[in-house]
Amino acid sequence: MTTLPDDPFAAYVQLIDRWRVLPYTDPGLPPSMLPADWPGRRSFDEFARLSAHLAGAAEEHVRARVGGRAHVA
């Protein structure tokens, strides 16, 4: 994955935007039917790690702009 922006909110939005195309490129086959080097699991793990790292700061950014009325799932 290319480098994400330094700003947590911008990075979180870009991460989600990049992730949403994956269902169109991943065949969704069982691991036994994929090549050994298939990046699907590694991609999901990296997405989950980055998402967890950025979500709190991204939510704080949104709350600061909307007066605390937002909830980020």
Specify the amino acid at residue 7.
D
Entry pTM: 0.74
Q: Is the pLDDT of residue 39 over 80?
A: yes
pLDDT for residue 9:
95
Q: What span, in angstroms and rounded, lies between the C-alpha atoms of 58 and 38?
A: 30
23 CA to centre of own chain: 13
Structure tokens at 47: 């997405």
Q: What span, in angstroms and rounded, lies between the C-alpha atoms of 63 and 29?
A: 39
* Beta-sheet strands, E only, within the chain: none
List, for residues 48-69, the tens digit of each pLDDT value: 999 999 999 999 998 888 876 6
List, for residues 16-27, the tens digit of each pLDDT value: 999 998 878 888
Dihedral pair phi/psi, residue 39, rounded to 5°: -85, 5
